[in-house]
């Protein structure tokens, strides 16, 4: 029976982001692992899939969670790691503004402490409000923070662009954050009142 793509995606996220050791894998310093070894050790651990099924998950992931190397031999998670890695990304100048979606219950702590990576290596930032809104919905009632990314960059903060288009930075201090509307539709956000800080 073919592997369930949703379950496979969750399995790959768990192994490639957080616990490669759970199936006896070791990621290289940039997070890459041999596709053949992932298949072999995944199958040994009871998650049955083949190369075609793996590539199907990579190609159909709407969030582009995984990257395959140019030679087609290795795979890694694009971002979201809790294991210590150096993804080999070069610092880049970000756009003037980026966005971070979260749940309303976190607003108070974010306004006082800023954005921190929590259990991950980096804070994840979106290029647009719609993406940030979808991220926020995963955590509860969504709210969007606007990040003054270019001003941060000018102050010496480093930004990296992950393989899947997610912007990464080590932290975002409160002075670079403002609350935006929680709606994803920029056409309607301009007509809605700003959330009070």
> Which residue(s) pair with 131 in the sheet?
none
Q: Contact, 101 vs 143, CB < 8 A?
A: yes
Instruction: Map out the domains of the chain with their CATH numbers.
Output: 5-77 (1.10.10.970), 98-189 (3.20.170.30)
Q: What pLDDT is stored for residue 140 in this prediction?
A: 83
- CA within 13 Å, CB half, 149: 26
Q: Contact, 146 vs 180, CB < 8 A?
A: yes
What is the per-residue DSSP string for 101-116? Answer: EEEGGGHHHHHHH-B-
Please tell me the distance from the alpha carbon of residue 120 to that of residue 158, in angstroms, as a whole number.
Answer: 16
Q: Mean pLDDT over all residues of the chain?
A: 82
Tens digit of each residue's pLDDT, the chain (197 residues): 677 888 899 899 888 888 888 888 888 877 889 999 999 999 998 889 999 999 999 888 767 788 888 899 999 887 766 655 566 678 889 999 999 999 889 899 999 999 988 767 788 899 999 888 888 888 788 999 999 999 999 999 999 888 778 898 989 999 999 998 644 443 333 333 333 33
pLDDT (tens digit per residue) in 21-34? 888 888 887 788 99
Put simply, whether the predicted model's pTM sits higher than 0.75 gets the answer no
pLDDT (tens digit per residue) in 153-178? 999 999 988 877 889 898 999 999 99
What is the per-residue DSSP string for 29-87? Answer: TTS-EEHHHHHHHHHHTT----HHHHHHHHHH-TT--EEE-TTSSEEEESS---S----
State how far the alpha carbon of 71 is from the alpha carbons of 11, 35, 74, 75, in Å.
23, 11, 8, 10
């Amino acid at each position: 029976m073919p592997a369930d793509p949703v379950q496979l995606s969750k399995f790959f996220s768990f192994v490639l982001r957080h616990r490669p050791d759970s199936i006896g894998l070791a990621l290289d310093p940039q997070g890459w692992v041999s596709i053949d070894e992932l298949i072999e050790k995944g199958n040994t651990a009871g998650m049955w899939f083949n190369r075609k099924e793996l590539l199907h998950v990579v190609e159909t992931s709407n969030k582009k969670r995984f990257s395959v190397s140019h030679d087609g031999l290795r795979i890694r998670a694009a971002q979201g790691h809790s294991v210590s890695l150096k993804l080999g990304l070069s610092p880049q100048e970000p756009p003037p503004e980026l966005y971070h979606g979260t749940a309303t219950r976190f607003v108070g702590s974010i306004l006082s402490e800023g954005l921190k990576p929590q259990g991950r290596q980096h804070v994840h930032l979106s290029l647009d409000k719609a993406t940030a809104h979808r991220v926020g919905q995963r955590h509860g009632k969504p709210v969007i923070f606007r990040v003054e990314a270019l001003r941060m960059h000018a102050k010496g903060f480093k930004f990296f662009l992950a393989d899947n288009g997610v912007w990464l930075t080590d932290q975002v201090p409160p002075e670079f954050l403002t609350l935006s509307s929680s709606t994803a539709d920029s056409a309607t956000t301009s007509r809605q009142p700003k959330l009070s800080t």
